[in-house]
Chain A
């Protein structure tokens, strides 16, 4: 298999794996009553840099709909994922100082370094969680309580992302 088709295959597997992981295991986790990780957007984070932009949006849409199918919230996760995918190119261009910082095919802790990767993933996770939690309650009278949920859940999601980054690329010295 050449490099491109291997990447495509890997991403398709990751797509289904993350949906199942989210709906079967992560959705049942709740720390402190109501903190919930939404790790499935790791898929959007890991798409290669040269992914066509239309594919970015379309795959994010189906990723979100896949989650919605199981939680009976049509459009909720889809809206949050599409917005995250839309924000991705802009966030990459804001946090990258030049094209030289985009080493390798896909964004990763190993290629771009800790600072870049943290900026990148925290921004996208926040975009996603903000949209998701505020759309879910769809009113502002529980504003601060929801904000707390956004922040705590983002921390939880970020932990999972960092752990899997370290597992995928163990430090080689």
Chain B
């Protein structure tokens, strides 16, 4: 027994190293989403408030850009008002129908930490559970997509950006509704990969890719990007392409969280079929 203690004492440096290293790796690998959100929601209070303070200062430097984004969006919304349409007759159409009701709600939030330079990028926003944010909700900026919520605490949420190896967005060609998958291979944060483009589709540079609305995360028709390059592969069925993201991930100031009001109903419907 004494020899054992002697042995441990003599080589404690190795044992302590193994202990700390395996604990770190355990945290890294053996940690599932649930544990992450429960333990880290406590630590968000610290990291969230530090980030909040810092972004409160840096916010002033991007006011001009924020204004520009807001004005562009305002113009888009104006163009959808009834006044913007040319009226051919005097009777206006009034819709009163319980079938057509609100499907999506939006919560605005400020980005308080963001990265584009890692292989897996995340954002933190200053809205959380108390404001109605939940896991798996989509995050957008204007009519462009940003990412999805992966972890929520009371006041903050953690967003997996599209610039992440685990991110896969279901999109489609605007011109013919053909479905594709959008991923990011690392490297340039402006460029993403379009996977599984059916062979028979004639692509052109500049073709627009929008969200398909199939994933329950994003509404249909949000901008993802435009095709900048494509390769004809050896594969029998599919080609690949590169797209230029519409979103500038490096300058996100304010974003919106998409709340799908009918999500529960959709999920229940799916679950009932399994």
Contact = CB atoms under 8 A, between A and B. Distances in A.
Contact of B26 (A58, A64, A75, A86): A75
Interface in A22-44: 23-24, 27-30, 33-36
Interface of B: 12-13, 16-17, 20-21, 23-29, 31, 36, 39-40, 43, 46-47, 50-51, 54, 113-120, 122, 124, 151, 158, 165, 185-189, 250
Given A57-B17, A69-B46, A72-B40, A30 B116 contact: yes
A117 interface: no
A113 interface: no
Q: Which 8 A-B pairs have the closest CB atoms?
A: A75-B27, A30-B117, A75-B28, A79-B24, A78-B24, A75-B24, A74-B27, A86-B17
Contacts of B186: 34, 137, 142, 145
A79 B165 contact: no
Contact of B54 (A24, A35, A133): A24
Nearest to B185: A142
A23 to B, nearest CB: 8
Interface in A46-86: 53-54, 57-58, 61, 64, 69-76, 78-79, 82-83, 86
A interface: dominant SS: helix
A105 interface: no
A12 interface: no
A142 B184 CA distance: 12
Contacts of B122: 71-72
A79 B26 CA distance: 10
A165 interface: no
Given A70-B51, A79-B28, 10 more contacts: A28-B114, A33-B187, A33-B188, A34-B118, A34-B186, A34-B188, A34-B189, A75-B31, A137-B186, A145-B186
